[in-house]
Every structure is written in C-alpha cells, then in structure tokens.
Amino acid sequence: IAQEVNGDILGAEFEGYILRISGGNDKQGFPMLQGVLSDDRVRLLLSKGSKCYRQRRTGERKRKSVRGCIVNQDLSVLNLVVAKRGANDIPGLTDSTKDLRLGPKRANKIRQLWGMDQADDVTKGVVRRTITTKGGKTYTKAPKVQRLVTPQRLQRKRHAVALKRQRAAKNKVETAAYLTLLAQRKREAKEAREALLAKRRSSHASSNNSKK
C-alpha cells in the first residue's frame, strides 16, 4: 500500500500513468490494512479508531481478520489511485471533469480555494448546490461558514475577556480581605491568650501572698 507503480503493466492505454496502491481485498473479502507488514491474513485485536473495525459498545475491542499491506497473488481486488496522468485520456476515468459537489466550510480553506484576501467576503465563495424536490421545486443549499470572524464573534470575545478580568479583580479583592480578616483573628487570639496568661499569673501571685 502507498507504493507507486507504472500504469504500463495494466495495458497500452495506461502508458505514462503513475498509479498509487491505496488498498484491496482478498478472495474472501478481507481488506488490506496499512502497517501490517505481511502478505498473509492475520488476526488483530482492534479497538476504537482502528481501520477495518467499527466499535459497537464503549471500550469494546474485537479480534478481526485483515490482510497485510503487501500485494500477492491471493488478492482479488486492488484499489489504485491516479498519481500522474499520461499522454492519453482514459474513457470514463480522465476524459471528463466533475463539478465540486461539496466545497469547504472553514473560512480559511474557502479563501485558499478561491485565492481570497482577508478583506474579501468569504460567504460569496461558498459552493452552493441545486436541489430539486419531488414536487419540482428547485432551490440552492449551502453550508454554514465555520470560523468566520464577525462583529458578533469579536463582541463575545471582548465580553469573555472582560468577565475574566472582573473575576481576577474580584478574587484579588476577596483574597486581600480574607488575609486582613485572618490577621485580625490571629491578633485577637494572641491578645486573648496573653490576657488569660496575665490573669493566671496575677491569681497565682495573690495566692502566694495570702499564704505568706
């Protein structure tokens, strides 16, 4: 998988083409898995995020059979991608161009697609598609532009920053008040302790004088 081969091996009509191997299936239908350096079928313990496996329950793992990423004679289907076109067009493959059905949604990718500047209106570069209902009504449909910087978005950001500053100032004031109160409580406790010790000393001295 991912290796590029010459298209001449498929016939004269593929002369000059460079094809990239993108996958395949063996005779029993098991798919090839990139990273498995083997030409045989192996059983792997697959989890969420793995290719050739879809998780049904949270935390589930399953041992499934997959084919290695090395091509051999046991494959019945081999998927190829045209990496470089040749001199001649292939009917049904490279002789026609298809319109872009779904365009990008992110603002920066729309600018990159059409070569727009930051000052240009991104909403005008959205790829719209025409839809016809069963009743014959026709209308256009377009995606919502993501990460679009609008005055409302800037206002919300300024509001969030202002709230953050208010919380920081409030915490600073409350911390200073708490430290002041804590120092006052410690001072009052110290004074009460000193008063109690003085009272005990005076009572002890008076008792000694009475005995004499």
Residue 16's Cα: distance from chain center in Å?
Answer: 39
Residues in contact with 154: Cβ distance below 8 Å, sequence separation at least 6, in sequence order: none
| pLDDT of the chain, 212 residues: tens digit per residue | 999 999 998 888 888 999 999 999 999 999 999 999 999 999 999 999 999 999 999 999 999 999 999 999 999 999 999 989 888 888 888 888 777 788 899 999 999 988 999 889 999 999 998 999 999 999 999 999 999 989 999 999 999 999 999 999 999 999 999 999 999 999 999 999 999 999 988 888 887 777 66
Determine the pLDDT at residue 211: 67
Determine the pLDDT at residue 205: 81
Determine the pLDDT at residue 63: 96
Determine the pLDDT at residue 196: 93
| C-alpha–C-alpha distance, residues 78 and 27, integer Å | 11
Note whether 126 and 107 are within 8 A (CB): no
Determine the pLDDT at residue 207: 77
Determine the pLDDT at residue 47: 95
Residue 131, φ and ψ in degrees, nearest 5: -125, 135
Query: Which amino acid would we find at residue 16?
Result: G
Determine the pLDDT at residue 206: 80
Determine the pLDDT at residue 203: 85
Determine the pLDDT at residue 134: 92
Residues in contact with 77: Cβ distance below 8 Å, sequence separation at least 6, in sequence order: 24, 25
Determine the pLDDT at residue 197: 93
